Structure 1
C-alpha cells in the first residue's frame, strides 16, 4: 500500500501544492517502509538523481518531486544535476540542495535550487549567498507550495523571472518572449507560485525600496496604477502585447517605457496623480520592481488583490493612527447582501477608506444587471467593458467621502477602474460639513472632484445646506480612534450632548458619525455601520441607543469576531443595521423583532492572517474564479460553503416583510 506523503509533511512548512497528482502518486508508490530497533517506521525512496536508496524527510519529499519536474518537464539530464553540492564560504562549507551545471561548462553551476529553508525570506537569503559564491545566474526557491525564480543581475539585485529555461532554451528566450493578457492569465504568479501581492511588495521593500530613499507608498502606488492600466488596455484588445514587462531592455530603456505607460494611465484615470508626477525610482531599482510585478494578474472577478496591497501600503504610511482600518471584504459583502441595494437606489460611504463598500455594492448591483441580461461574470470581470446600465449606475448612484488624502486617491483608483472612468469619490471632512466650502471653492480641488460634488448637491434635502441628504443606502466603518474636541463641530450634533443634555468637551468620532450618517439618509433609507461593541453594551452609551431607536427601526446587530480587524486592532466590533422610520417604507412601531447574530468562525488567526477553506486532503479550496475562500460564517460563498448570517437575515427580512426584500 502506498504511503501518503501528506503524512510525512504533516506539521511542517513543506507542502506539495506545486506538483501534479501523478507526480505525487509516483513518489508515494515508490516509498518503502522499514522499522528501526524501537519499532518506529522510517520511509525510504530510490533517488531520481543519485540512483541509490535514501531516507525520505519532508525536505527530501519536495526535492524528489522537484527533481521529477526538472528531469521530465524541463528535460535536464541527470548527468547535469548534482545534489548536496558543496559551496565554500571561506573556511566554511555549505551544501546546495540541487545544482544544474552549465551545458557548455559541466563543472560550473548554472541553476541552484534551495529547499532547506521553507520560509521565503530565509530561503532567498540562503539562495543569494549560494549564487553569489558560485556565480550561478539563476536561482530557484520552493517549499512545495510557493515557488520563486530569480536571475542574479549582480550581487545586490536578484530579479524575478517568470520561469527557468528548459534544457534546450537560453535564459534570454524566457525574458524576451512577448506576453498577451492570455499569457498573464495562464502564468499568473499569484496562482502558480502561491504568492500574494502584499508579499511581493514586502519582498521589494527588503530588496530595494527600503534603501531607495523614496516614498514607498507613492512609488508602489504608481507602479500598480500603471500595471492596472496596461492590463485594462490588453483586456479590451486581447492580441495587444503587454507593456509593463522587461523584454530584455536596458534599465534606462525600461524606465522610459514605464514612464510613458504611467503618463497614459494618468490621462485615462485623471485626478489620482498630478500631470507632472514622475516615477522617481532609479532605473536599476525600477527594473527589480517591474520584474517582481510583471507576472502578477491584478485584475480578476473582484479587486481583492489590489485591495489587500493598498490596505498594507496605507496602513504602513499612516500607521493606522486615525483608527482607519480597512473593513475585510467578506464583512463588506455580508453588509451588501443584507441591505440588498438595487440599481435604482443611491448609495454612499461616508468614511470610505479604500472604497470597499461602494466597490462591492457596485459588483453586487452589476451581478443583478448581468443576470437580468442573461450574461455571466467572468474571472476577468473587472477589466471587461460592461453594459451601459453598469457604468450609468456608478456615474449617477454611487458616492464616497473620506478625509484621508491617500485613502481617497486609492479609493478613486478602485472606483475609476470599477466604474470605467467614472467616480464620485470626494476628499472632504465629513463631520465638519459647514466648512466644505473651503474645499469646494479651491480650484485645485474643483479640477479633481467638482463633477462628483455637483451630483452630490442634487441629493441635498435643502438647497445650499450640506447637512441633510436623500440617500437610499449608506454603509460605513467610521474611524473609532480619537475624539473630536472642537466645540464648533460638537455643537452641530445632538449626540454632542451627554445623557443629561449638556454639550461635552470631547466626543468619540464614531458617535458623531452615527448622527451624521442618519442625516445622509432619506426617510425609509437604510444603513449598515461598524461600531465598537461598547456602544451596544455600555450603560453610559444608553443615550446613543435611545437616539438611534427614536429615528430608526433597528433591523439587526451582527457581532464580529475579535480577530476580524487584526493585525491593526483587537477591538471587538458589531455591525448595526437600521432603517429610518417612514410612513410607507418603514412605518413606526413600538414593538418589533430584531435580528441578532454572532460570527462564530474567526476568519483570521491571532496574528491577523486570513484562514482559508481547505479541501478534505488539506489543499486550499478555490472558487470558480480561482480565488481563495476565507473561512467565515457570514454568507455562502458561491455555493461552496454553508449558508450563513446574511442568508438567515434574508429569511428574517422576508418574514418581517421589510421593504427591501
Structure 2
C-alpha cells in the first residue's frame, strides 16, 4: 500500500552498482547486497521500524567465553530502540543477511555462527532473523529464570514495531502485514520449493500450495461474509509463533486448516473450481511450515500487482507454456486496459483468458474508479486502504459477478484464472472451460448452458435488453481484451475453422480469433488484441486487413519491440485497438464516406531485455540514472491505528515506453 512520487533530479549509477535505501550510498551489486536491500525495505514497510533507527554493517563486541578475550562481529543490519543512541546496548532486533547460495546450516555463515552468535552477545536483543534472500529464519533468545543461561527458539515470525510476542500469538491481531516489494514472490517460491523438495510431491506441489492459498483467501474473505450474516468473524488461518516446534502444535494447525478447506469446497464462491474430492495431503510439519509462511500476510490488502506477479511466478513455472500459451507481460496488459478504460457498466470478455491476467487488471482498474467515486476526499495512499473496505468490495464483487467473463480451452487454466480472481479480491467472475472458436457449439453442453444462464443474469441485472439479439454470449460484450494463442503449433479443427469467413484466407488461430471477438462484441463495442505483425503486414493477409477495415473502426495500433514476449517466445507483435462498427457506419463507408484519425505508436523499450532482465533509464553515456523519489506507505501506531509514513529514496526507473504511450493516447482522445 504505497505510493511513489518522483522528481527529476538525476543521479548517475555505474552498471555494477546498487543504491542503499538506508544510507543513500552506491554499493557494489551482489546477491548479498540485493538481499540486504530487500530486508531493509521489509523491516521498514512491513514491520514498521523507521530507517532512522537502523544501521547496516554494525560491529558488535563481546567477550569470548572460552578465551576471555574481546571479539568482534559485523552484523549486516541492526535496529535500535526508537530514537535512542546507536550503541550496542540499544539494539532490539538484528538481521544477518547472506547471499542466496549460503545454506542456513553453513558452518561459517549459517544461522548458528552468525545470528545465534550475535544474539548471544546482545543482552537487550530478544529477536532476530537470518536470510539468504530465499529462506528466512526467525529466532527468539530466551533467558532462564535466573538470567544465567539462555536458549534459542524458532519462531514463525518476529514482532514488529510496538508489538510483542503476545500480539503475534493472538489470532485476532488488529492487522496482518501488507507485503512490500518482493516478499510475496519469495513466500510463494519458498513454499512451492518446500513442498517440491521436502514433501516428495513433485507432481502436485503447485496444486497443494494453491489449496493452501485458497484457504488463506477464503479465511480473509470471511471478514465480509460473516459481516453479512451478522456473526462475529474468528480467523482460522493462523499459526502461533511456536506451534511449528511441536508435534501437537503442528497437528493443531493441520486440523484447523483442513477443516477450513472442507468448508470452502462447499462454498458457492468456489463452485466450479473444485470437484469436491480434492484434499490437502501434506505432512503436519509441511502444512504448518507453509501456513506459517502464508499467515504472515494479508492477501486481500496486498496490491493486485504484488499478488499477480507472485501468483504468475508459480503458475508459469508449473503450467508450462504449452502450444502457444504464455503470459502477457503485466505492463502490456495494463496498457491495453488503461487505453480502453472500462468502468462499472462495461461487460468484459477474454475469450482466451489463460490464468486471468486481463480480467484481474480490469477488476483492479474498475475497483480504483469505484473507490475514487466513493471517497473523493481521499488521495494517494489513504485511498488504497479503502480498496478492500466492505463497501468497495461489495460493489466490486457485484461488478465481477455480472460483468467479467473469461473462456479458456484448458481446464487447469480455468482453475488458475478462478484462483487469480479470488486473489484479486473477488472470486465471482464467470470463468468457463470452453473452446471460444467452437462456441456456441462445444462437446460440454452443461458448460454452454452455464454460460447462457450467466449471460441472462448479467443482462437482467444490468437491464441490458437492447442487446439481447442472440440466446447466448454473442453480441453481448462492451469490451474484449485478449492475447489469443498464435503460432504454427496451434492447429484449429477444420470443421471449427470453416465456420469463419476469414478461414478462406487463413486457418491460423489468431486470424479466426479476430472474427470470434467480432461476434462476441456489441455494435459499438471495443476490443484490444495482441496480434503477430504478419497479419498486419504480410501481402498474403491483405484480405484479412480489408475485412478488419470493413468491420471495425481502428482506434489505435501500438507496435511492440521484439523483447515483448521474450524469453518465453520470440514474436514480433502489435496491440490493435478496434471498435465494432454499427450497420449505419458500414453503410456510410460503402457510400464513400469515412475519414478518421488513428493513434499510432511504437514501443521501442518495454522495461526488459531479451532475457527478461529489467532495463532502466540511462543517460547519454549509457549510465543508469537515479531519480529522487518519496515513497509513501501506511503504517500502524502502537494502538493499531493507521497513518501515512514516507521515506526519501533514489530509484531507478524502468525504461518502458508504454506509460508514455497511454498518456499520449489519452491526449489524442481529448
Task: Give the TM-score normalised by the residue count of structure 1.
Answer: 0.72
Q: Rate the CA distance shift 1:414–1:465 in 2: closer, same or farther, 3 A.
A: closer
The residue number in structure 2 matching 1:452 is: 454
The residue number in structure 2 matching 1:196 is: 183
438, 463, 470: which one pairs with 1:432? 438
211, 217, 234: which one pairs with 1:228? 217
Question: Is the Cα–Cα contact under 8 Å of residues 192 and 206 in structure 2 kept in the other structure?
Answer: no
Q: Which has the higher strand share?
A: 2
The residue number in structure 2 matching 1:422 is: 428
Question: Is the Cα–Cα contact under 8 Å of residues 134 and 190 in structure 2 kept in the other structure?
Answer: no
The residue number in structure 2 matching 1:11 is: 29
1:378 counterpart SS class: helix
Is 525-534 or 194-203 further displaced after alignment? 194-203
Q: Rate the CA distance shift 1:429–1:625 in 2: closer, same or farther, 3 A.
A: farther
The residue number in structure 1 matching 2:605 is: 601
**Residue 559 of structure 1, CA deviation:** 2.1
1:386 counterpart SS class: helix
1:321 counterpart SS class: coil
1:568 counterpart SS class: coil
Mapped to 2, the partners of 1:388 and 1:603 lie a distance apart of 35
Mapped to 1, the partners of 2:199 and 2:656 lie a distance apart of 43
Mapped to 1, the partners of 2:669 and 2:115 lie a distance apart of 67
The residue number in structure 1 matching 2:52 is: 22
Mapped to 1, the partners of 2:347 and 2:439 lie a distance apart of 20
Mapped to 2, the partners of 1:455 and 1:229 lie a distance apart of 25
The residue number in structure 2 matching 1:363 is: 364
56, 66, 79: which one pairs with 1:69? 79
593, 596, 599: which one pairs with 1:592? 596
Mapped to 2, the partners of 1:489 and 1:392 lie a distance apart of 34
Mapped to 1, the partners of 2:108 and 2:258 lie a distance apart of 30
The residue number in structure 2 matching 1:118 is: 99
The residue number in structure 2 matching 1:561 is: 561
The residue number in structure 1 matching 2:265 is: 266
Q: Which structure 2 residues correspond to residues 138-537 of structure 1 after superposition, within 5 A?
A: 140-142=129-131, 148-150=136-138, 161-163=156-158, 173=165, 177-180=169-172, 182-185=174-177, 188=178, 190-191=179-180, 194-214=181-201, 215-234=204-223, 242-247=235-240, 248-249=242-243, 250-268=249-267, 269-271=269-271, 272-300=273-301, 302-375=303-376, 377-379=383-385, 381-382=387-388, 384-386=390-392, 389-416=395-422, 420=426, 422-436=428-442, 438-441=443-446, 451-452=453-454, 454-455=456-457, 463=470, 468-481=474-487, 482-498=489-505, 507-537=507-537
Q: Rate the CA distance shift 1:374–1:618 in 2: closer, same or farther, 3 A.
A: closer
Mapped to 1, the partners of 2:372 and 2:94 lie a distance apart of 51
Mapped to 2, the partners of 1:371 and 1:79 lie a distance apart of 48
1:315 counterpart SS class: helix
Gapped runs of 5+ residues in structure 2? 1-19, 45-49, 64-71, 118-126, 141-152, 244-248, 619-623, 636-645
Mapped to 2, the partners of 1:343 and 1:306 lie a distance apart of 23
Mapped to 2, the partners of 1:265 and 1:73 lie a distance apart of 46
The residue number in structure 2 matching 1:645 is: 661
Mapped to 2, the partners of 1:212 and 1:276 lie a distance apart of 20
Q: Rate the CA distance shift 1:50–1:180 in 2: closer, same or farther, 3 A.
A: same
The residue number in structure 1 matching 2:61 is: 49
Mapped to 2, the partners of 1:456 and 1:235 lie a distance apart of 23
**Residue 538 of structure 1, CA deviation:** 2.6
Q: Rate the CA distance shift 1:631–1:432 in 2: closer, same or farther, 3 A.
A: same
Mapped to 2, the partners of 1:465 and 1:647 lie a distance apart of 37
Mapped to 1, the partners of 2:158 and 2:413 lie a distance apart of 35
Question: Is the Cα–Cα contact under 8 Å of residues 611 and 631 in structure 1 kept in the other structure?
Answer: yes
RMSD of aligned C-alpha atoms?
4.6
Q: Deviations over 1:17-73 (max 9, x none)?
A: 41754357x77xxxxxxxxxxxxxxxxx9944269xxxxxxxx9x94562x427889
Mapped to 2, the partners of 1:489 and 1:8 lie a distance apart of 59
Mapped to 2, the partners of 1:284 and 1:46 lie a distance apart of 36
